[in-house]
Structure 1
Amino acid sequence: MKLRSLVAILATALVFTSAAAKQKPTTPQPIFNRAPLVEVPYAQLPIGEITPEGWLRTQMQTMLDGMTGNLDDVYAFVVGDNNAWLGGEGDAWERGPYWIDGALPMAHIMGDKALLAKANKWVEAILASQKENGYFGPDTDRTPIPGMQRTNAADWWPRMVALKILQQHYMATGDERVIEFMTRYFKYQLEKLPSTPLNNWTYWGAERGGDNLLIVHWLYNITGEKSLLELGEIIHKLSADWTARFTTDNHLYRQNSLHCVNLGQGFKEPVIYWQQSKSDTHLNAPLEALNRIRHTIGFPTGLWAGDELLHFGNPTRGSELCTAVEMMYSLEEMYRITGDNTYADLLERVAYNALPTQITDGGDARQYYQQINQVEVTRKQRNFSTPHQDTDILFGILTGYPCCTCNLHQAWPKLVQNLWLKSAEGGVAAMVYAPSKLSTTLADGTKVVIDEQTCYPFEEQIRFAISLPDRKHRTAAFPFELRIPEWCDKYTLTVNGQEVNAESVRKGTIRLNRTWSDGDELLLTLNAPVRSSRWYDNAAVVERGPLVYALRMEEKWQKHICEGEDIKQLGEYYYEVTSTTPWNVALRNADLKEEKIATSFVVEKSACSDKPWSLESAPIKLKAKAHVLPEWELNRNSAGDFCYYTQQAPKGEVGEVVDIELIPFGCTTLRIAEFPVR
C-alpha cells in the first residue's frame, strides 16, 4: 500500500471516528415501509435477535471454522490486506465485498469476535473511503493481473454489495454513520446516474439494479427523504426490465438468453419496485416467471439449469452455487415484502436441497456447478456452456470460477436472519422452519424468548417454547404467525397439549392472537406425505415435505494437491468423488400412482445428529423398488441422455427389479434425483 493512500484513509477514518464519538449508536429496530410505499406485512428483526440452534448452529460453526471465517488466509491473494477496498492495490471489484456480505452477519449471529474484527475492518475502510461528493470505494483502474479484478473499479455494481454490508452493520449495531454515508452517496447517485447509467462500466450494474433500489427504499423508510423516491424511479428505469423478461419477453423459453445468477438476483426487482409503483404487473411478474420456469428451464431444487447461460432443464446441466445463494436472498426479500408463501416454500426448497450439497461437510471447499443427476465428480469434459478447463464440478477453493468462493458465505447467515420476522401487527412470524431461538422485545417493552425445537426439515414436528425472562411480566399478549407449507395436506396445533384453532391470515399463513404465559409450549405438527412430481422429459422426482429425495450412492473422495500455476488458478487442493454404486435405474410407473405411492416408498427415520447433511448421517430415508436399465450409460462423463418417460418401453430395455434407497438430496454428493419411469 502506498503511504499516501494509507495516510488518506487514516485521516478520513479519524473524521468518521470523531463524528461517531459525538453520537451514540441507536438501538436497531424493525423497519417497516413509510408512505407512500405500500404497507408490507413483515420487517426484519435486528441482527443478533435470532440465533441458530441444533443442526443449524453446527452448520454455521462449520462454515465459521472453514472458509467463511478464514477466507482472508485461504484466498489472501484477492481478499487479503492488499484488496483495493482496504486501500491496497489489489482486487477492486466484487469479491472482497461478497465475502464480508456473509462474514459480517455470521460474526454477529455467532458472536465470533475474531471474524467480527475482520468484518469491521472492511466496514471502517468503506466508511472512510467516501469523498466529499458522496462517492466511495476504489475508483482507480490498474494493470490486469491474472486472478485479480483490477479494472472497472468505479463500477456501480460492487458498490451495491458494499451497501448491503453497511445495511447489515446498521441492523446489528445502530451505527448512525451508515445513515449519513448512504444519504451522501444517494445524493451523488441522483446527480450522476442520468449521465452515467448503471451499465456505464459493465452490464452487471443494470442487471442487478434491484439490489441498489432495495437499499434506497430501506434508507427512505428511516429518513423519509423524498428525493430517495425520485432516485428509486431512476434506478428502476436504468435497470434491466425484469418485469418484461418475466411476462412478455421469451427469455425463459429460450436457451442461452440470460446469465443464471443475474436471473436469481433479478427475481426480486419487480417486487421491490412494486412498493413504489403499486402496479399488479410488477407484483405478479415473479410468480409468472416461476410458472414459466417450472415447465422450461426448472430444476426440482427450486432453481434452474444455468452453467452459466440458461438451458432447458436437463438434469445433467449445471446449476451455479451463486444462483442458489442469490435466489435465497431474493426469496427472503420477496416474502418479507409480500407475505406470499410461494416464496417461503421455494426458499426452503433451495436452502434444504441445493445449498447443503454444494459445499463440503467440512466447509473447506465448494462446487461451482452441481448436477441434479450427478454420478461422478471428476476433472473431465461435460456439457457446460462455460467448462473452465473441466473444473466446474470439482469441489475446490477456486475451481470453476472464484466468484462463488466469496459469495457463498451470505447463504446460511441470511437464512438464519429470516427464520423469524416482525409482523405489522406487533407480533412475530415464523417464516422458515429450523432449530433456532428468538430473543426480542415487544412494543410495550416486554422481553420474549421463543425456543424453536425441531430437526426440521427432517421431521415434521416443530415445538415453540415461550419464556418471559423479565419477572415483572409473566404474561404477554402478541400475535404469533405460522406458515403452513404448500406440501402439507393437514396439520395440528396445540398449546400446552390442548388443540387450538388459529385464524387464517392469507393462503398458507395462520395466526394465534392470544395472551401467552411464561412456560407455554406451542406444538405444530405438519403432515408430510410422499409425493412425486414430473420434470425434464417427464422424469419422476420423489419428494416428502420440503425435501427432494435422491438415489443413495457410496462415495470415494480423493483429494488432489495442486502445484505450480494450478495453485493460482484452482487453489491449493480440490476433491474428486466417484462411486461403484449402480445408478442406472428407473422407478416403476405403478409405484408412483397416487393410490400406491404411500406404500411403495417406505419411510424410515433415525436419530437426527448435529450434522445431518451427509451420506452417513442422513436421518431419513425412503426404501423402494426400481428397474435396472442396462443400456443407460455414461455420456461425456455424465448420466447419458435417455428417454425418461415412454409409453412403450422397447422390449428387453428393462432389467431386473432391485431394492433402492433414497435419501435427502442435500445429504448426497453423487445421486440420481430425476428418474426414468418404466
Structure 2
Amino acid sequence: MLRQIFLYLTILTTYCATAQTPNPIYNRTPLTPTHYAQLPLGEIKPTGWLKAQMQSLLDGVTGHLDELYPLVGEDNAWLGGNGDAWERGPYWIDGALPMAYIMGDDALKAKALRWVEAILASQQPSGYFGPGSDSTDHHNVASDWWPRMVALKIMQQYYMATGDKRVIDFMESYFAYQLRTLPDRPLDYWSFWGKERGGDNLLIVLWLYNITGNSHLLTLGNLLHQLTADWTARFTTDDHLFRQNSLHCVNLAQGFKAPVVYYQQSHDAQHLNAPKEALRRIRHTIGFPTGLWAGDELIHFGEPTRGSELCTTIEMMYSLEEMFRITSDNSYLDLLERITYNALPTQITDQADARQYYHQMNQVNITRSWHNFSSPHGDTDLIYGLLSGYPCCTCNMHQAWPKFTQNLWYKSSDGGIAALVYAPSTLNTTIGDVAVCIDEQTQYPFREEVSFVVSFPDNATTKLRFPFELRIPAWSDGYTLTLNGKHIEASKAEGGIITIDRKWHNGDTIRLHFNAHVACTRWWDDAAVIERGPLIYSLKMEEHWHKHICEGADLEACGPYYYEVTSPTPWNVALHHRHLHPESLAEHFIVTMNECSNTPWSVSNAPIQIKGKARILPHWSISRNAVGSFNYMSQQLDTEPEVAEWVDIELIPFGCTTLRITEFPVR
C-alpha cells in the first residue's frame, strides 16, 4: 500500500507541476448569466470546529473506507477488478477527493488519484468509460448511465483542483458518445435511476460548455432534459408532493436542482420557479423542521417518527449549493445552513466510525427493532453502524462537509469576493495578480458574530480595491457592521446580500453581527418547534451508548459493529400554549451560552442551551418501539388528567443530540 501511495503521489506531483488551477467559470452565452463562481479546490480551508469535524472524518471512514469496506477496495471494478461496478466506489471518491485537496492530505490524495487515473484509462475509442462494456443487456448494471454521473462529478472536481486538461478531452469524448447513444438507449435503459437523476448529468455538460463553448453540448443538454424525469411538472402541476409513496426520498433531493440546471439553457421561468413551489408544498405535507422531509426511502407525510435518510441530507445540500450558484437566490443558502447545521451532524458519530441510515425528529431510543418504515432493512435503519440500513450512505456521506466548505466562499463576476455561507475558514486566492487572504473567525452557527481579517501575503502589496459581498440570513432581525471597530454602512441589501466596495488595507477587520431571537414554528399536527437563528432545538436527553460486535450474518447487515443508544430521561412532555405566544417566548425560554469547543456537535459539548418549563403527559408513551402516536394539538388545553406536573426542561441544538424530542405537543 505504501508503495502504491508513493507511485500515485509521484504521478500527482508530475501533473500538478504542469497544470494550473482553473480560472473562475461563469456561464457563457446563450446560458443565463451567473454572478458567482466556485473557487479552485483547495483555496478554502476550514478552521476551528469545521476543521476538527473534517479531520474526524479524514481519520475515520472517509480516509479509510477502502480498508473498512472491501467493496470499494482493491477488487472494485472501477479499479479494474471483478467486484462492484456500480455507484459505491464513485460515491466514496466524490467526497474523498475534495476532502483530500481541502485538507491537504497526501495519503487520501493518492487513493483518490488512483481512481481518477483508472477512470481516465478506462475510456474506449467510442467515448464510453468505466467497468463493463457497451452492452445491450438490460441487466448489465455495469453499463448503467447513473454511476457515470457520479464519476463525472469526480472528474469535474479533479479539474477544479489541478486544471488537468485531460479531463476536458475525456468529457468531450464521453458526451459525444452520449449524444450518439442516448436516442437508442435512454437514461432509464439499464435502470430507472439515470432518468430520475439526469439533472446531475446535465449539470456537468453545461459546466463543460462554459469551458469549451462547443455547441454540440447544448444539443446534448436539450436531449438530457427530454430524457430526465419531469421534475418541473412533479413540483408544479402533478400531485406527487401531496401523495405518500410517490417518490424516492433521495431522487427528490437530486431532482430539486434539475429544473434550475436546465433553466440556464431554457430561460423559462417555470424551470426557475418550480423548486420554490415544491418547497412551499413540502412545508405543509411531507416536510420536517430540519428543512428536509419524511422519506424512509419512499416519501411520507411528515409525522415526527418517520425516517429521513442520510443520503437525502447529502444530496439536498449539493442541490442547494448548485441552485444558489446558478440563481444567486439567497433563500437557498438559508435552507442549506438549516439542513447542514441541524440534520447532518446528528447522523454521524463524533468519532466518525459509524452513521445512521434514517433519523427521526422525535427519536427517544435507537435500537435494533421494528419501526414504521417503508424500507426497514432488517430493522437496522436507526442504529449507528458502518453498513446498517443500506450501504449507499456509507459511501455517499463523504461529500457533505467538503462540498459545503467549498461553497463557503465564491468569486463574483465584478472581480470581487463573496462570503455567503458562514463557518470558520480561511480563503487564500488571487484578485487580478494579487494574492489575498481573508480569515473568517467565527463560532457560527452557535454565535451570531462573524469577523473577517484581510491580509496580503505578498509584502509588496498593502492595499487593493475589490467588492466584498456578505449575506444577511432571513432569520436575522437586522444586522450591525463595523470596520476596524467603527460602524459603517454597506450597500443596500438586495436579496439578502450586502456589498462593501472599498480599498482594503492589510489587517482590515470586518465584524458582522446578526440579531437572533427565540421563535416557535408549527409542524406536524400543529406541533411546536423552538428555533433560534439557523438552529432548531430539541429536548436534551441523557445518552447511554451500547456497542455490539457483529458476527456471522450481522457482519454483512451492519458491518463489524453497531451502536444502540437509550436514555432514562423522561421525554413525554408538552409545551404550554401561553409560553408560545410571540410576546412571551423571551420570558419563558431563556438562552444560555456555553463554551464553544472544536467538538461542539454532542450532547455534552452543546455550546448553547435554552431553558424552559413543560408539563408531563402521562398517557404519551412508547408504541411500536418509538414515540407513540399522539394528538400534538388539542382544543382542550390544561385539562386533567391529560397533563400532570410541571418540569424544567433543557433544549439544545438538534445537531448536538442523538436522542430527542423536537416536535412538542402543545397543551
Please give the range of the TM-score, normalised by the shorter of the 2 chains. over 0.9
Question: Structure 1 residue 504: deviation in Å?
Answer: 2.8
Distance in 2, Cα, partners of 1:300 & 1:569: 30
Distance in 1, Cα, partners of 2:62 & 2:134: 28
Are 1:336 and 2:325 an aligned pair?
A: yes
Corresponding residue for residue 123 of structure 1: 116
1:441 aligns to what SS in structure 2? strand
Question: Structure 1 residue 418: deviation in Å?
Answer: 0.3
Corresponding residue for residue 635 of structure 2: 647
The correspondence for 1:258, drawn from 225, 242, 247, is: 247
- Spell out the pairing of 1:131-146 with structure 2 (5 A cutoff): 131-139=124-132
Q: Identify the range of structure 1 (457-466 vs 21-30) with the bigger mean alpha-carbon deviation.
A: 21-30
Are 1:157 and 2:146 an aligned pair?
A: yes
Name the amino acid aligned to 1:115: L
- Spell out the pairing of 1:290-329 with structure 2 (5 A cutoff): 290-329=279-318
Distance in 2, Cα, partners of 1:510 & 1:296: 34
The correspondence for 1:491, drawn from 475, 479, 488, is: 479
Give yes or no for contact 1:92–1:151 (8 Å, CA) kept in 2: no
Corresponding residue for residue 336 of structure 2: 347
1:543 aligns to what SS in structure 2? strand
Question: Structure 1 residue 404: deviation in Å?
Answer: 0.1
Are 1:358 and 2:347 an aligned pair?
A: yes
1:383 aligns to what SS in structure 2? coil
Give yes or no for contact 2:15–2:164 (8 Å, CA) kept in 1: no
The correspondence for 1:105, drawn from 75, 80, 98, is: 98
Provide, for residues 566-594 of structure 1, a one-character-per-residue CA deviation record: whole Å limited to 9, x for no partner.
Answer: 11221000000000000000111111101
Corresponding residue for residue 30 of structure 1: 24
Give yes or no for contact 2:615–2:643 (8 Å, CA) kept in 1: yes
1:506 aligns to what SS in structure 2? coil
Question: Structure 1 residue 141: deviation in Å?
Answer: 11
Distance in 1, Cα, partners of 2:430 & 2:241: 44
Corresponding residue for residue 88 of structure 1: 81
Question: Structure 1 residue 24: deviation in Å?
Answer: 3.1
Give yes or no for contact 2:63–2:96 (8 Å, CA) kept in 1: yes
The correspondence for 1:632, drawn from 599, 617, 620, is: 620
Corresponding residue for residue 517 of structure 1: 505
**Structure 1-normalised TM-score?**
0.95
- Spell out the pairing of 1:239-250 with structure 2 (5 A cutoff): 239-250=228-239
Number of residue pairs aligned between Structure 1 and Structure 2: 655
Question: Structure 1 residue 28: deviation in Å?
Answer: 1.6
Distance in 1, Cα, partners of 2:543 & 2:588: 26
Structure 2 unmatched runs, 5+: none
Change (3 A) 1:167 1:308: same
Are 1:556 and 2:530 an aligned pair?
A: no
Distance in 1, Cα, partners of 2:537 & 2:502: 39
Change (3 A) 1:336 1:22: closer
Provide, for residues 10-40 of structure 1, a one-character-per-residue CA deviation record: whole Å limited to 9, x for no partner.
Answer: 9xx99xx89x979932332210000000101
Name the amino acid aligned to 2:126: N
2:396 aligns to what SS in structure 1? helix
Are 1:44 and 2:38 an aligned pair?
A: yes
- Percent identical: 65
**Structure 2-normalised TM-score?**
0.97
Name the amino acid aligned to 1:557: W
The correspondence for 1:277, drawn from 260, 263, 266, is: 266
Distance in 1, Cα, partners of 2:380 & 2:35: 44
Change (3 A) 1:358 1:301: same
Name the amino acid aligned to 2:54: M
The correspondence for 1:63, drawn from 54, 57, 61, is: 57
Question: Structure 1 residue 341: deviation in Å?
Answer: 1.1
Give yes or no for contact 1:357–1:665 (8 Å, CA) kept in 2: yes
Give yes or no for contact 2:53–2:599 (8 Å, CA) kept in 1: yes
- Spell out the pairing of 1:611-622 with structure 2 (5 A cutoff): 611-622=599-610
Provide, for residues 484-540 of structure 1, a one-character-per-residue CA deviation record: whole Å limited to 9, x for no partner.
Answer: 011001110000011111113522111111111000000000000000100000000
Distance in 2, Cα, partners of 1:112 & 1:22: 15
Provide, for residues 47-89 of structure 1, a one-character-per-residue CA deviation record: whole Å limited to 9, x for no partner.
Answer: 000000000000000000000000000101x100100000000
2:335 aligns to what SS in structure 1? helix
1:360 aligns to what SS in structure 2? coil
Corresponding residue for residue 385 of structure 2: 396
Name the amino acid aligned to 2:127: G
Corresponding residue for residue 496 of structure 2: 508
Give yes or no for contact 2:80–2:118 (8 Å, CA) kept in 1: yes
Distance in 2, Cα, partners of 1:124 & 1:469: 34
Name the amino acid aligned to 2:46: P
Provide, for residues 71-123 of structure 1, a one-character-per-residue CA deviation record: whole Å limited to 9, x for no partner.
Answer: 000101x1001000000000000000000000000000001011110000000
Name the amino acid aligned to 1:598: A
Are 1:221 and 2:175 an aligned pair?
A: no
Are 1:410 and 2:410 an aligned pair?
A: no
Are 1:541 and 2:529 an aligned pair?
A: yes
Distance in 1, Cα, partners of 2:640 & 2:269: 53
Give yes or no for contact 1:141–1:151 (8 Å, CA) kept in 2: no
Distance in 1, Cα, partners of 2:498 & 2:271: 26
Are 1:579 and 2:567 an aligned pair?
A: yes
The correspondence for 2:611, drawn from 615, 623, 626, is: 623
Distance in 2, Cα, partners of 1:426 & 1:572: 51
Corresponding residue for residue 366 of structure 2: 377
Question: Structure 1 residue 151: deviation in Å?
Answer: 4.5
1:438 aligns to what SS in structure 2? strand
Structure 1 unmatched runs, 5+: 1-9, 143-149
Corresponding residue for residue 256 of structure 2: 267
Corresponding residue for residue 278 of structure 2: 289
Give yes or no for contact 1:86–1:125 (8 Å, CA) kept in 2: yes
Distance in 1, Cα, partners of 2:623 & 2:395: 32
- Spell out the pairing of 1:415-494 with structure 2 (5 A cutoff): 415-443=404-432, 445-494=433-482
Corresponding residue for residue 146 of structure 1: none
Give yes or no for contact 1:606–1:619 (8 Å, CA) kept in 2: yes
Name the amino acid aligned to 1:592: L
Corresponding residue for residue 73 of structure 1: 67
Are 1:212 and 2:201 an aligned pair?
A: yes
The correspondence for 1:53, drawn from 47, 69, 72, is: 47
Corresponding residue for residue 594 of structure 1: 582
Distance in 2, Cα, partners of 1:269 & 1:547: 28
Name the amino acid aligned to 1:109: I
2:54 aligns to what SS in structure 1? helix
Give yes or no for contact 2:363–2:659 (8 Å, CA) kept in 1: yes
1:81 aligns to what SS in structure 2? coil
2:52 aligns to what SS in structure 1? helix
Change (3 A) 1:497 1:421: same
1:504 aligns to what SS in structure 2? coil
Name the amino acid aligned to 1:472: A
Give yes or no for contact 2:127–2:175 (8 Å, CA) kept in 1: yes
1:39 aligns to what SS in structure 2? coil
Corresponding residue for residue 515 of structure 2: 527
Change (3 A) 1:174 1:22: closer
Give yes or no for contact 1:496–1:522 (8 Å, CA) kept in 2: yes
Distance in 2, Cα, partners of 1:479 & 1:565: 59
Change (3 A) 1:22 1:184: farther
Provide, for residues 430-461 of structure 1, a one-character-per-residue CA deviation record: whole Å limited to 9, x for no partner.
Answer: 12100000011002x11110000001000001
